[in-house]
Amino acid sequence: MKALITRKVGMISTIAEDGAVKAVTLLQADPNTITQIKHEERDGYNAVQLGFGKANKLNKAQSGHFKASKVTPKVSREIRLNELSEDLKVGEQVSAENFEIGDHVHVTSTSKGKGWAGTIKRHNFQRGRKTHGGRSYRRPGSIGSMFPQKIFKGKKMAGQMGHEQVTVRNLTVALIDNENHVIGVSGAVPGPRKGIVLVRGA
């Protein structure tokens, strides 16, 4: 099972043998603990729940849920699987050793919040002309016709930008350091430093 909850460290540049410079995002990949296993016969689908970090305090519901794994994780995520391996057991650890350099992975995290943004910044609208009497510089323009008398859902308008779950697909594992528990992924990963990042095999 190639899946791991990590924490974003930052970005570096690597130089290949042919001289090409490549951007690499470093992820702190401390060992995760399997906190729950879901079976299709009982739960309707196959999945493994992983725990990451250590929480200082848990409520009663969380304490009872994580009692079998004997850990108190700060973050937990569920990864759906087509088939469950018999080797997976509650309480066992999953580390970066499951990944290899060259593997393709999907990366999921929460993007940086940009606040309330206009249509030019949020949707790349063009601005209006600033000459010949033009007054509509950064206005969105028409948002609909006379009929029907409503605005359709999904209309591109000003609003909250960022701070949403984003998945970047088919990134390549460029670096693995098992001693320091670090994984390097080629390209950019959404979210700020110290943000939680879920890495799954493609």
The model's pTM is 0.86
Q: For residues 113 and 17, state if they share a domain.
A: yes
**Which residues of the chain fall below pLDDT 70?**
none
The per-residue pLDDT for 192 is 96
Q: For residues 198 and 118, state if they share a domain.
A: yes
The per-residue pLDDT for 133 is 94
The per-residue pLDDT for 38 is 92
Domain assignment present for residue 197? The answer is: yes
The per-residue pLDDT for 164 is 96
Check: CB of residue 83 under 8 Å from CB of residue 39: no
Q: Rounded to an integer, what distance in angstroms lies between the CA atom of residue 27 and that of residue 83?
A: 27
Q: Which domain holds residue 115?
A: 1-30+99-135+156-202
Strands (E), 29-135: 32-38, 47-52, 75-80, 93-94, 104-110, 113-117
How confident is the model over 58-93, as pLDDT tens digits?
A: 999 999 999 998 889 999 999 999 888 888 899 999
The per-residue pLDDT for 87 is 82
